[in-house]
A and B are shown apart, each in its own frame.
Chain A
Amino acid sequence: MRYLPNTADNQRVMLETIGAGSIEDLLVKVPAKVRLSRPLALPPALAESDLVAELRGLAGRNADADGWVSFLGGGAYDHYVPSPIDHLISRGEFLTAYTPYQPEASQGTLRSIYEYQTMIAELTGMDVANASMYDGASSLAEAVLMAVSATGRREVVLAGGVHPLHRRVTATYCSGPAVRLRDVPAPAGVLDLEAAQRAVNGKTAALVVQTPNFYGCLEDVAAAADLAHAAGAVLVVSADPVNLGVLEAPGRLGADIVVGEGQGLGVPLSFGGPYLGVLAAKREFVRRLPGRLVGATVDLDGRRGFVLTLQTREQHIRRARATSNICTNVALCALMATIYMATLGKRGLVRVGELAMAKARYAADRLAAVPGVALRFPEAPFFKEFALRLPRPPDRVVARLARERILAGLPLKTFDRRLADCLLVAVTEKRTKDEIDALAAALAKAVA
């Protein structure tokens, strides 16, 4: 077996050294009555070439964004991933390293995380970012728990535009500590500020808004901040960092904690994961942050170096009183994002945002001009994603367009029954005018 180097001869010599007659003799502590008396019932082992054939077969049954034109969004986006990223993260020294607990032998990982923290803090307008969480959903859940511990309050108000799956994850995380979640509707696509005003009070630990929200609409973060702060609550903003080349940093609009799904920053779609949980905060929250943090320091000779720091917050030291139970994070995805942000740089990230914004606007205008089709939230500004109202059931329209290898968007029925006639369409910088025109033409046929 190519992954197992011990030859029969090696095994014999090693057993002699140990003083055991066989490997069985080493397993004496496993009680006989619980020993598995048969081989595991697994499919037979495959040679590499056969494995490739099997997995190509499975992969071929999926409508991937290479073979199809995709307008799917809803929290994961088909942004272009520059070539150097995969080459660099595939270097074994990054790929096969452990968590950098021995800093002298992990400076590459540590230095790149320090860069990542700097870039995320800069994009979000926060003082400090952690080294990553599992995904945007768990970042949001952990931010809510941070706000609960910082304020000592046990209610959290969520804007109706928060991603419904992120909201569900937050509810799961809040079930243990019995934090109560309250929802404020978004009938016009954005947070109803008057309803929010009524919901946020002296018991509120945090107000949570997402911008652009699940429907693609941009929220008035500054107004939300005023409202939260007037009640002594923390404002948590969920934002997709790839948009922040163009959109204002939430920190400049009054956010106290910024979270987001960072998949758009060079992380593959991979059917939903692994992704990148972004979490950044103002300075006063630093000792409440979950997860790892990298800090700069010096070595014995005075040279700059990097270490995991403020580790007393974490489970391996503080155990039951840790700020979170997270251990493994998504360091390699954070590295993808770091290389992405370095590659796009100051001007490239602006260009990506502008292209997505412009193409989404073009697509919205073209699609809303199809007879019977309209923007669902015509009054609300949007960025790279928008909801359409269709004259026919959206899942049937999606099935029809799939015949032309177009993934037309996300029917919203399963997320919100009131939006049963709606389709959520996302447009990244990769979509061309021709593809958008083809979508409009196919949609016109499908709803005619």
Chain B
Amino acid sequence: MPYDNQPEYDRLVFELSSPGREAFSLPEPDVPVEGARARIPAGYLRREPAALPEVSELDVVRHYSRLSQMNYGIDTHFYPLGSCTMKYNPRINEDMARLPGFGRLHPLTPAPHAQGALALMHRLAGMLAEISGMDAVSLQPAAGAQGEMAGVLMIRAYHAARGERRTKVLVPDSAHGTNPATTALAGYEVIEVKSTPSGEVEVDDLERHLGPDVAAFMITVPNTLGNFEPRIVEITERCHAHGAQVYMDGANLNAILGITRPGDLGFDVCHFNLHKTFTTPHGGGGPGAGPVGVKAHLEPFLPVPVVTKDGERYGLDWKRPKSIGKLHGFWGNVGMLVRAYAYIRTMGAEGLRAVSDNAVLNANYVMKRLEGHYDVAAAGPCMHECVLSARRQKKHGVSAMDVAKRLLDLGFYAPSTYFPLIVEEALMVEPTETESKETLDAFCDAMIRIAREAETDVSVIHAAPTTTPVRRLDQARAAREPSLRWRPEA
């Protein structure tokens, strides 16, 4: 068990503070300080120094090293989080993003002196366009949700340019929460479309909702139950017949690299999650990058600026009168773009195809090994992930959350739980292609053990986790009496 031999470490950095200690190193002033201060109105200057900690450099290094040891990461644990694509994050990508020419490059460096960065961006956009079958790609969105926003605003601008006023966006009931949140933010009414029990779009329900007031249909492919939507071409055609645009949430792109492409399926817009499919690290919740690809008819509406190539010179084009405007403070999360570029260059076409093949194989293998022990939400074969249900375990008083907590004790991070919302007691498992058969077997053995424990020894499940730095936490208390910052004890 990973933490048994660790003494409990319960400090916050503020609690290590001792007046007079320091961890910083700064040059002595070589110009006068006080004269400069006198030129600023006294009321603008801070009266009391901010109560930041006073610690030594070793305090800092040891504190954060010990905090890190309280996390599970891909580097330390199998991380089968469905819909999140927690695959190995190659170290060479980290090195490349840290090359001074990228990591230490100011965003407002004149274009003639940033040709390498602009060239990389231009090439990456081209590669993503090829992978997705789209005509143009903007690298600007900072994450999937911002990519969605760019996409939905482009759709809105497209309809407006044609003199059409459409007020609704259709979203399946199995969708990621960002889809309805984004469409609402973009000023649309969100209409839910029903799914079949296996997570496919109910095409009749979709058809019922389609009409002259519908701007777009947003859908994840493969869907959030891990299945490829068999009627997808019919769906995109029906939407187009009603003048609606079709948006693909690219969260599950890892399943279809080199197999099929959003553009060929009839989609008008799709976003990419570089922190999922293209191995940039999740970093405990971000940063990510959410480039967005479009077909030619939406290209005039791309966010500004667009990276351009004119002969051998790269630049930023701001003169795009139909653009939806700007989304990122500068040009996008370029540090993430460098990592994704390095990954695609490492893999090549054949490598990317092998990624999806193995992701699909691994998910089907896990599903097959577990189908006798847990209910399966949708019949296989699945794509890159499978959704199980702890419905059967629930009869013994064991919920999906209980299974998740017990897995932590058995040395695995948990699958996604309670998503998609249309599956009762959902456990969504995405093994990814970078895990070996041995790891998958160990995980399946643990899952089967928990299924047995549910029938024989519920108490060990309900007590879990016991090997983590803390046991189950009182979420209700955290929400009822929010304590959102540390304060010194009086």
Contacts and interface: CB of A to CB of B under 8 A. Distances in A.
Given A218-B41, A316-B419, 12 more contacts: A27-B259, A42-B127, A75-B329, A91-B65, A96-B282, A98-B282, A104-B471, A176-B185, A297-B478, A298-B473, A305-B469, A326-B145
Contacts of A112: 64, 67
B455 interface: no
Given A246-B45, A342-B52, A348-B26, A55 B96 contact: yes
Interface in A291-326: 292-301, 303-307, 309-312, 314-322, 324-326
Interface stretch (A152-160, A192-200, A270-278, A438-446): A270-278
B418 to A, nearest CB: 10
23 contacts: A4-B354, A29-B381, A30-B260, A46-B346, A61-B116, A93-B70, A95-B89, A96-B73, A129-B485, A137-B329, A177-B187, A248-B43, A273-B332, A303-B470, A309-B475, A309-B478, A316-B177, A317-B177, A328-B285, A345-B23, A361-B39, A381-B40, A410-B108
Given A35-B259, A112-B67, A273-B332, A348 B405 contact: no
B247 to A, nearest CB: 14
Nearest to A274: B287
Contacts of A62: 101-102, 105, 109, 113-117
A40 B354 CA distance: 12
A286 B92 contact: no
A136 to B, nearest CB: 6
Given A10-B437, A55-B338, A131 B485 contact: no
Nearest to A434: B30
Interface residues of A toward B: which range? 35 or more
Interface stretch (B202-210, B358-366, B392-400, B446-454): B358-366
A106 to B, nearest CB: 6
A218 B30 CA distance: 24
Contact of B283 (A31, A44, A95): A95
Contacts of B362: 6, 14
Interface stretch (A202-210, A225-233, A331-339): A331-339
B408 interface: yes
A313 B26 CA distance: 42
B105 A13 contact: no
Contact of B51 (A104, A114, A346, A414): A346
B interface, over-half SS:
loop
B1 to A, nearest CB: 13
Contact of A108 (B37, B71, B333): B71
B410 to A, nearest CB: 12
Contact of A26 (B77, B338, B364): B364
Contacts of B106: 65, 70, 72, 76, 78, 269, 271, 407
B180 A342 contact: no
B145 A315 contact: yes
A410 B110 CA distance: 9
A20 interface: yes
A295 B484 contact: yes
A48 B346 contact: yes
Contacts of B161: none
Contacts of B197: none
Contacts of B167: none
A220 B30 CA distance: 30
Contacts, number: 727
Nearest to B467: A104
Interface string B72-96: 1111110101001011111010111
Contacts of B8: 303
A245 B413 contact: no
Interface in B281-296: 281-290
A273 B335 contact: yes
B23 to A, nearest CB: 4
B404 to A, nearest CB: 6
Interface string B13-24: 110010001111
A90 B146 CA distance: 26
A305 B9 CA distance: 11
A176 B184 CA distance: 8
Interface in A131-166: 131-132, 134-138, 163, 165-166
B142 A274 contact: yes
Interface in A96-123: 96-100, 102-109, 111-115, 117-119, 121-123
B177 A270 contact: no
Nearest to B234: A31
B90 A176 contact: no
Contacts of B101: 56, 58-62, 64
B137 interface: no
A315 B178 contact: yes
Closest 6 CB pairs of A and B: A59-B101, A272-B330, A92-B75, A45-B348, A332-B283, A272-B107
B442 interface: no
Given A94-B68, A108-B67, A176-B187, A272 B470 contact: no
Contacts of B112: 399
B460 interface: no
A171 B281 CA distance: 31
A325 B185 contact: yes
B280 to A, nearest CB: 9
A91 B326 contact: no
A448 interface: no
A350 B24 CA distance: 11
Nearest to B477: A297
A57 to B, nearest CB: 7
A306 B485 CA distance: 11
A301 B471 contact: yes
A40 B349 contact: yes
